Each structure stands twice: as structure tokens, then as C-alpha cells.
């Protein structure tokens, strides 16, 4: 028995080392997942979160990749996958009381958006 695997066309855009915590990005990313491209653009445009601006640029990049590299129709695109993984943490030191020091963790994230065409 042979299995037939159909190749689904997908366009992706990735942002590495974004200077924002992946936890903050996931809040807006969860709202966008499964939505059409137009609806996802409206979500990131009006979401009052710091990650919304980053995700808007990344979504526009994924749309441009779909149209120019994969010849997909913009009207049929939807956000199939979107995820934010934790990147390396920048460790900084801040002076504290009695000559001691406190560590500050500046977190980064790797964000990926995958677009597919609906049938």
C-alpha cells in the first residue's frame, strides 16, 4: 500500500532574536492563529500590545513571501501556524543595596508565521 502525500504550499517568515519575551508575543499570536490574513492584520493593527507592531511587520513579510515567491492568492491566505519560541537571554547587572548586585534578564524570542491557502 502506498500513501499519497500531497504537498501543501506554504509561505513562512521568521524573526530571530526579537528583543521581547516570547510570553508577551504569545498573547497576540494566539489571537491570530487560524484567522484569515485580513482579519489577522486588523488584530495586530488594533491590539494594544508591544508585540503587535513586531507581529504586524512579520505578517506583512509572510504575505509578501506568499505572493512573490510562491504565487499564492492573497484573498485565500490564512495563518496556519504562528509560534514564538524562547531565544537566548541577555544577562545584565544592576547595582543594588549594600554594594550587592542584582541580575537583570533581558529575554529574546524567535517568532515564526506560516501562511497557507484555504481551499
Cα 26 from Cα 54, distance rounded (Å): 12
Mind giving me the DSSP string for 69-97?
HS---GGGEEEEEEEEEE-PPEEEEEE-G
Residue-wise pLDDT tens for the chain (119 aa)? 677 766 778 999 999 999 999 999 999 999 999 999 999 999 999 999 999 999 999 999 999 999 999 999 999 999 999 999 999 999 999 999 999 999 999 999 999 999 999 87
Say what the pTM is.
0.88
In angstroms, the CA 104 to CA 113 distance is 29
Amino acid at each position: 500500500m502506498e500513501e499519497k502525500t500531497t504537498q501543501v504550499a506554504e509561505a513562512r517568515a521568521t524573526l530571530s532574536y526579537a528583543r521581547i519575551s516570547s510570553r508577551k508575543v504569545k498573547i497576540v499570536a494566539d489571537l491570530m492563529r487560524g484567522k484569515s490574513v485580513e482579519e489577522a492584520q486588523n488584530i495586530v493593527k488594533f491590539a494594544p500590545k508591544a508585540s503587535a507592531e513586531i507581529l504586524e511587520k512579520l505578517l506583512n513579510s509572510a504575505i509578501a513571501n506568499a505572493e512573490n515567491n510562491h504565487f499564492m492568492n492573497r484573498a485565500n491566505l490564512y495563518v496556519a501556524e504562528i509560534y514564538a519560541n524562547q531565544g537566548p537571554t541577555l544577562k545584565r547587572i544592576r547595582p543594588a543595596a549594600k554594594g550587592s548586585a542584582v541580575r537583570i534578564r533581558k529575554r529574546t524570542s524567535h517568532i515564526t508565521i506560516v501562511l497557507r491557502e484555504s481551499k
